[in-house]
Amino acid sequence: MSALAFSIVALLLVGPVPAILARASWPLRAPRAAVVLWQSIALAAVLSAFSAGIAIASRLFVPGPDGRPTATIISEIDALGWPLWLLYVVVLALTLLIGARLMIAVVQVAIATRRRRAHHRMVVDLVGKPHRSSGLRVLDVDQPLAYCLPGVRSRVVVSEGTLTTLSDREVAAILTHERAHLRARHDLVLEMFTAVHAAFPRFVRSASALDAVKLLIELLADDAAVRATGPTPLARALVACAAGRPPSGALAAGGPTTLLRVRRLGGRGNSLALAASAYTAAAAVLVVPTVALAVPWLTELHRLFFV
């Protein structure tokens, strides 16, 4: 039952749970805690999938006639029967596949993202004008545009249209927003969710987690800008830069979620109660399934190999 329970938990955390959470409105008032909750859900999904595989592997070593774990495929089939043995093998293979896909996805996402950023950073350094602010490049573009390129050699990029169209406080708000992304390394959070999304098979995974986290990290950067300049300059800057199209791998101030973010700036502020509840839920998502489901098959492993 432990293997079945782990499998059910993994499927719930990959599909229905992210879909339900993505439709909730409360994360807008507790973005940092919501990101932690999303991270806990993703980690719990991966751990549950691996735990299901380990639990199934332990069942393949069922006790033989002498009470010792079976050691050959024939003895395993004799003890379990063909249907159950085949089911265990398929689920174990699927678990190993997810693990391999996760490791490959982490490497692929990291390499591809850094390659794109390095190329665009080189282009920006060549065609952009340096600004008196460290790490800032200005592009000769009339349309208001602002984005950042994270990494060891990070850059904040703005257009001439941003500097000429926006007021000083609005420019300060947009720069604070982008530098908040760089300081908190929000790009690493996105890479993790992108890799997890790619690791699970298409028929069970959902894009809800990745889309929701993209919005939440923008809200975190918005909050940093609000603390520096207030909500009004940031709202005006976001609207001005909404139509800008950043390169792949960059984190931009504008985008399709601009309207939602501007409305949030005029609504109620962040809630400590919601944040506390989200942190509690994040801890429960990791701790409760582990304690409730891991103990039975750990006990079985101990009985098989140490008793």
Could you tell me the residue range of the domain that residue 231 belongs to?
A: 2-306
- For 181, half-sphere exposure in the C-beta direction (CA atoms, 13 angstrom radius) is 29
Which pLDDT score is estimated for 204? 60
d(CA 184, CA 182): 6
CA triple 143-130-177, angle to 5 deg: 60
Which pLDDT score is estimated for 195? 83
Which pLDDT score is estimated for 100? 83
Closest CA to 95 of 41, 54, 58, 44: 54
User: Mean pLDDT for each 10-residue chunk of the chain (307 residues)?
Assistant: 75 85 93 94 83 73 60 66 76 78 85 88 89 83 91 90 93 95 92 80 71 93 95 94 81 85 91 96 85 64 61
d(CA 292, CA 288): 6
Partner residues linked to 130 by β-bridges: 137
Which pLDDT score is estimated for 28? 94
Which pLDDT score is estimated for 66? 59
Domains identified in the chain, total number: 1
Which pLDDT score is estimated for 219? 96
| Residues 6 or more apart in contact with residue 294 via CB below 8 angstroms | 2, 51
